[in-house]
Chains A and B, each alone.
Chain A
Amino acid sequence: MNGYGGNILRINLTTGEMNIQPLPEEMAKEWIGQRGFIAKTLWDELKPGIDTLGPENKLVMSTGPLAGTLVPAGGKVSFGAKSPATGIYGESCMGGHIAAEMKYAGYDMIIIEGAAARPSYLYIKDDQVEIREASHLWGKGAIQAEKTLKDELGEDFQICTIGPAGEKLVKFACISHDFGRQAGRTGMGTVMGSKNIKAIAICGSNSIPLADMTAAIAKGKEMLKGCFAKENLEEWQDYGTAGVPVWANKIGAFPTKNFQSSYLEGNESLDGKIMRDKMVVTDKGCFGCPSPCGKYCFVKPYNVYTEGPEYETTALIGGNCVFTDIEQVGYLNYLCDELGLDTISAGNVIGFAMECYEKGILNQEQAGMELKFGDVASFKYLVEKIAAKEGIGSILAEGVKYAAEQFGGESIKFAIQIKGLEWSGYESRSAPSNMLAYMTCDLGAHHSRAWSVTHDIAVGRKVLEGKAQKVIDLQHIRPFFDLIGCCRLQWVEIGFELEHYPEVFRYITGFQYTQDDLMKISEKVWNLTRAFAWRELEDYGRKYDYPPARFYEETVTTGPNAGDVLSKEALEFLLDDYYKLRGWDQNGLPTREKLEQMGLEFVVRELEAYGRNLS
């Protein structure tokens, strides 16, 4: 099938059974790929109520039709499963080269079922698929394990791994690839660990068929050159997202001291320019990328190599745990990467523990040592305890929500999460639309689906009207890139125009879709993942969409937005507006009419079968 690897690989780790089935054309047409395939597969195949770490959960790896082609940055792959962090739909996306590789091996989707009896890794060379012994990799750091396997199998293999945290089932373990790219969020590394899978190694030798070869080459070149010509490309390549922390601080959006503030004193020393001068060894791009944001670093004082820190890491480790030395942030980034922990959640959890200590909710005996913001020893101690699930780490390894429930006191108010997923890098009390984006993200408090801080600045920070519509529009555009297998950063960061994509999509797949058609599919997936959460949790709805009380009860402590708070009334207004515009009921649940309009009749039937009352 044009544009596709053409097959679905299914591996049952319990029985050792494997099969390769052709990708149905109808599936490609209706769900495009990647996030679309994952959402549909998890909906169809997961029984509600299953244990996220049991063999009944499935880890689905999928990429999209533009991956592995000449289209700029076609190197994205997503992993999906029922999330151990949130108990609802989980998904995380990463770059590197393994998305393209799985297509050359002939696969658009790999479904991993059951659990291996022993530590294993998956060996996939075209249609040769093996579950191999991995005891020599078990316990190794995520990057070290990738290096070991690459040395064993050769340069032509692309490999993703988990670190010790994934093996130990820490709820925010990530999947790592290409020595510094991670599918960090919603515990996909945890699910991989629960299946006893340390690594997935793929090598493919096949071609991707293209519907119109000549047009695809011409358009691909035009798109690449369009990106090359962007005048901010040089700036972007020099710093990547590391150019952003100083701006985020100036406008008062930089997570600081476990989100007490949005302004970090001394943040200028986290600037990308300083990072480049001190640490950057090479610019590192993902497959087909015309604007490489990866800044591969050597952190001299600690004698370690690490990719990054990129914005999110600098925000959550730097700002949130109060480090203003970029080399310290680089070192702590390295620790998280080797241990296989999502730096966003890790920075939240550790910042939370530091605040609990400061407030006397945790004492030295419970914590095991004195915990202090800005103290490398505290961070290192906690992150290693978490990865090993020892002492205080065994509680923190479950995420901030669980930890707050255990620690008690007022701590739930400053456990910075939504739906159980820790918050990514923008403090949003002074940015209502961005707050709404976090509140309504299908995964929990994550920026990937919509980010609109600039919109709040441009139209007015206190304005509430119109904000929901902006968030909805973005929630269709940004995840659209997660349907096609491409990075969104060319559009988002260097301003490459969206309208190129439907055209090149036609040349590659032969499917005649307009931009509107593609956005409709994106919206359909959005409704499906919301329905997935409702099928899991009978009481799902509005009450799961609120941020922690810190954001509506406490004011920002310092900086340009000191004194700001987003009232509960404002949150209610935003949610009311959002649900209405989405065609959902007041409790934030998709209505029968909306689902039918999206072509999701099978969802209506299934929800009814589970006793959900659709309005």
Chain B
Amino acid sequence: MRIALNEARCSGCRTCQVICSLHNYTENNPKKAAVKIIGHFPSPGRYEIKICDQCGVCAAVCPAEAIGEEDGIYIIDKEKCTGCGECVEACPSGAMLQHPAEKAPIKCVACGQCAELCQRGAIYDADTREVQ
């Protein structure tokens, strides 16, 4: 699973956020999603998708060494995380998201649920699908 983006195809429906929170937090709550959609309206009229590209900067800056890597995917150990927010500040993609009820930031683990339900191919798995 290699999450890739084609932002021009995004219609802003936020289904990705709903399934992300359901799958990773067992909650129906898009504010607990590791993907964020930002609309740029009224001009120029497009959507921006914020999601982790697994660059690893978060792991490098984490003072608690709470972020580990496995097969190219960086995962937060919620037990170790102190909620200091260093990674949120450092993330070059602005993709470490926060929720008031969660100490640890919310980060994409490349489960691929969002890509599965993105009919538009705005978020897709670059391992299995060509850009739409």
Contacts and interface: CB of A to CB of B under 8 A. Distances in A.
Assess A/B contact in the complex (Cβ within 8 A): yes
Interface of A: 68-70, 97, 100, 104, 143-144, 147, 155-156, 178-180, 204-210, 213, 216-217, 221, 224, 227-228, 233, 281-290, 292, 294, 296-298, 305
Given A70-B19, A204-B31, A205-B100, A305 B42 contact: yes
A285 B11 contact: yes
Interface in B91-120: 99-101, 116-117, 119-120
Interface stretch (B43-51, B52-60, B62-70, B76-84): B43-51
B13 A207 contact: no
Contact of A179 (B8, B19, B31, B41): B41
Closest CB pairs A-B (n = 5): A285-B11, A179-B41, A207-B29, A292-B11, A207-B27
Nearest to A294: B11
B85 interface: no
B42 A147 contact: yes
Contacts of B27: 207
Nearest to B48: A155
A544 to B, nearest CB: 40
Contacts of B42: 143-144, 147, 179, 305
B28 interface: yes
B108 to A, nearest CB: 18
Given A70-B19, A97-B14, A217-B22, A281 B28 contact: no
24 contacts: A68-B18, A97-B14, A147-B42, A155-B39, A179-B39, A179-B42, A204-B31, A205-B29, A209-B28, A217-B19, A217-B23, A224-B117, A224-B119, A284-B11, A284-B45, A285-B12, A286-B13, A288-B15, A290-B15, A290-B119, A294-B11, A297-B45, A305-B44, A305-B45
Q: Most chain-B CB neighbours within 10 Å: which of A104, A144, A207?
A: A207
Contacts of A207: 21, 27-29, 32
B126 interface: no
A213 B19 CA distance: 12
Interface in B3-37: 8, 11-15, 18-19, 21-23, 26-32, 36
What band does the interface of chain B fall in when counting residues whose beta carbon is under 8 Å from A?
35 or more
A206 B29 contact: yes
Given A68-B28, A178-B41, 14 more contacts: A104-B30, A155-B38, A155-B39, A207-B29, A213-B22, A217-B19, A217-B22, A224-B119, A227-B119, A281-B46, A282-B46, A285-B13, A288-B18, A305-B45
A20 B20 CA distance: 30
Nearest to B37: A155
A320 B38 CA distance: 37
Given A179-B41, A213-B22, A224 B15 contact: yes
A330 to B, nearest CB: 13
B13 A69 contact: no
A69 B28 contact: yes
B119 to A, nearest CB: 5
Nearest to B31: A205
Given A155-B38, A179-B39, A204-B31, A281 B44 contact: yes
A209 B29 CA distance: 9
Contacts of A143: 42
A206 B101 CA distance: 9
Contacts of B99: 205
B28 A210 contact: yes
B29 A104 contact: yes
Contacts of A144: 42
Nearest to A338: B42
Contacts of B19: 70, 217, 221
B59 to A, nearest CB: 27
B64 to A, nearest CB: 25
B119 A100 contact: no
Residue among A217, A282, A286, A288 with max Cβ neighbours from chain B (10 Å): A282
Nearest to B101: A205
A72 to B, nearest CB: 9
Contacts of B41: 147, 178-180, 296, 305
Contact of A69 (B12, B18, B23, B46): B18
